[in-house]
Amino acid sequence: MIEATKANESIKGAAFIVKETAAQDVFTPEDFSEEQIMMKESVQEFVNREIIPHRERFENKDYAFTHETMQKAGELGFLGVAVPEEYNGLGMPFTSTMLVCDYISGANGSFSTAFGAHTGIGTMPITLYGNEAQKQKYVSKLATGEWFGAYCLTEPGAGSDANSGKTKAVLSEDGSHYLITGQKMWISNAGFADVFIVFARIEDDKNITGFIVEVDLENGITLGDEENKLGIKASSTRQVFFNETKVPVENMLAGRGDGFKIAMNALNVGRIKLAAACLEGQRHVTSLAVKYANERVQFKTPIAKFGAIQSKLATMATNCFATESASYRAAYDIEQRIDQLLAEGKSFQEAELKGVEEFAVECSILKVAGSENAQGCSDQGLQIYGGMGFSADAPMEMAWRDSRIARIYEGTNEINRMLSVGMTLKKALKGEIDLMTPATTVGQELMSGSIEKVTASDVLFGQEKQLINNMKKVFMMIVGSAVQKFGPNLDAEQQILLAVSDILIETYMAESTLLRVEKNAERFGVATQERQIEMTQLYLFEAIERVNAKAKEAIVSFAEGAQQAGMIAGVKQYTKYAEYPNISELRKNIAATVIEENKYPY
């Protein structure tokens, strides 16, 4: 009932939940080309030279140093990887731009935020929506680091509800310019940006409009003080006040009222890139933690020898591996879609926008999973350091504080969870994915009591694949019944949506991990993937447990009587292994490799 994707069938956004993807169709980090590996190495070299040794300067809120380091990144071309060559960029494919975001971000949240804010929300709105003159004038400078960009959307009264901003843009009497007045807050890079992308409302328009505003403090722009933050200390974050700031009419971005669309689409790209930006942090923290665990002796034993520590190391490595697998899988799907649209004659702007929009569900999933795995990893890392984890003189304290922001910006994780389900349902309504047929079949399976038992299998991942398909069935069972019960009012049932979203997220993450390892086992041999197979099994076991809990929570929240009993029995059956893996053994083995290599090993 969960159909396989046909040969040569292009992969559609969110279709993973109703289809089975073939392992050879996914991109994995092991597929990087030589050129991509060279890029990755040059980014790593930059991080080792320019960022890691300067932890104290970043921690001491040295914003000028962040600016200087950003300029160095610009000199090396890192700021322009996603920008077409005609605007001084490197015009690299989507997976390469993810790779740069991933490896440049690892060791320091301040730099990572400055980099992400500039290259993502500070540059991409003009790259993707600007006209030729705007791109020539602004993108060419932003791509090299001659100028820096910031994105002014949030206001004191308009955070998650971004379209409710009060900032006004009033057309001058002679029609030559707009006068922008309003207050923006939490603006990353505000302290050194040369260009702001500002969202403001014209008259009583339903939607806000985007403007490109050159920073000139003589032109009604005032900056608030640097915010006192929990983490990312050297990322400049300020309020920006506009008081009749004159902006030429030609600096309107796209059309009047297009601002909300621009803001949301810029965030889609930002979300998947944020997931990438959470990866190297996890690798770095895992490596620091295992080094410490190998050296720290208690009870005359290195703490790495204790099962409690091994369990943490295994989880840290496994979750990072899963996030890597899912991030690059989605990035390649986006890249393929972009290439397809370009081949159909679409412009770079259209292709890039539509390509990412197609996979907006995956972008939201990754934003949530990436940020939560990164935070979980730094929390476990801090615990492995014990009291030393709590010391600001050791690196875990900074990692722990820095990782916290990723759950808040680029749309909070609550908003992204609800979006992921909402957008999946919208795709089904529009006929882009067929949720109805498999949901009906699941319903029939339940009613007739004919749910097939998961069977043991000698084929690699034979049992695991059945379980992943069953996770999809659990999603369809609950979503199908909830839609029947609430209809269009399902939007208001946030607690149910959050639970269902976790099922969606776990399914994508577990499946992506399995597909990566299956592909690698096929081409490199099963023996080379022993540990990765174990990580897949561990991730799946934990994912199934979460799906079980979230499914029950959702079911008892809206179903009653026989329907409730039937669905609970269905979940139990769908999530039941034929043969359970020995979880303690899996964790021991995974940790053994991390401990032996004394770093994140993949």
Ligand X SMILES: Cc1cc2nc3c(=O)[nH]c(=O)nc-3n(C[C@H](O)[C@H](O)[C@H](O)COP(=O)(O)OP(=O)(O)OC[C@H]3O[C@@H](n4cnc5c(N)ncnc54)[C@H](O)[C@@H]3O)c2cc1C
Active site residues: 410
The answer to whether the CB of 498 falls within 8 A of the CB of 482 is no
Residue 347 sits at φ, ψ, to 5 deg, of -70, 165
Q: Closest distance between ligand X and the C-beta of residue 140, in Å?
A: 22
Q: Tell me the sheet residues that pair with 177.
A: 248
Q: Which is nearer to ligand X, 150 or 377 (CB)?
A: 150
Nearer to ligand X, 213 or 474 (CB): 213
Question: Minimum distance between the CB of residue 273 and ligand X, rounded to whole angstroms?
Answer: 14
Backbone φ, ψ for residue 49 (5° rounding)? -90, -45
Question: Do 380 and 289 contact (CB within 8 A), yes or no?
Answer: yes
Residue 353 tokens, joined: 């926008």
- Looking at the Cβ atoms of 228 and 448, the one nearer to ligand X is 228
Question: 93 or 159: whose CB is closer to ligand X?
Answer: 159
Residue pointed to by tokens 């740069």: 100
Q: How many CB atoms lie within 10 A of CB 163?
A: 16
Q: Who contacts 583 (Cβ-Cβ below 8 Å, separation ≥6)?
A: 538, 541
For ligand X, the closer of residues 88 and 188 by Cβ is 188
Q: With respect to ligand X, which residue has the nearer C-beta, 54 or 367?
A: 367
Smallest distance from ligand X to CB 502, Å:
15
* Assigned token pair, 447: 């009613």
Compute the least distance from the CB of residue 208 to ligand X, in Å: 12
d(CA 4, CA 438): 13
DSSP class per residue in 67-85: HHHHHHHHHTTGGGTTS-G
CB of 203 to ligand X, least distance (A): 22
Comparing CB distances to ligand X, the nearer of 150 and 474 is 150
Contact 381, 316 (CB under 8 A): yes
Shortest Cβ 237–ligand X spacing (Å): 5
Q: CB of 382 within 8 A of CB of 237?
A: no
What does the DSSP 8-state code read for residue 10? P
Structure tokens at 223: 């900056």
Residue 17 CA to residue 15 CA, distance in Å, equals 5
Q: For binding to ligand X (CB under 6 A), which residues are involved? A: 117, 150-154, 159-160, 186-188, 229, 237, 405, 408-409, 412, 414-415, 494
Q: For residues 258 and 263, give the distance between their C-alpha atoms in angstroms, rounded to a whole number.
A: 9
Distance CA 13, CA 468 (A): 18
Report the alpha-carbon distance of residue 476 to residue 439 in Å, rounded. 5
Task: Say if CB 230 and CB 407 are below 8 A apart.
Answer: no
Residue nearest to ligand X (CB): 159
State the Cα–Cα distance between residues 595 and 577, nearest whole angstrom. 30
Quote the CA–CA distance of 114 and 122 in Å, as a whole number. Answer: 10
Query: Cα(421)–Cα(504) distance, rounded to whole angstroms?
Result: 8
149 strand-pairing partners: 195
Sequence-ordered list of residues with C-beta below 8 angstroms from that of 18, at least 6 positions apart, any chain: 2, 3, 433, 434, 435, 438, 472, 476
271: left (phi over 0), alpha (psi -120 to 50) or beta: alpha
Per 3-state DSSP, the chain is made up of helix, strand and coil in percentages (nearest 5) of 65, 10, 25
Pairing of strands 209-214, 195-202: antiparallel
Closer of 60 and 444 to ligand X (Cβ): 60
CB of 117 to ligand X, least distance (A): 5
- Measured from the CB atom, is 69 or 188 closer to ligand X? 188
Q: Could you tell me if 241 and 221 are in contact, meaning their C-beta atoms sit under 8 angstroms apart?
A: yes
Task: Between 185 and 474, name the residue whose CB sits nearer to ligand X.
Answer: 185
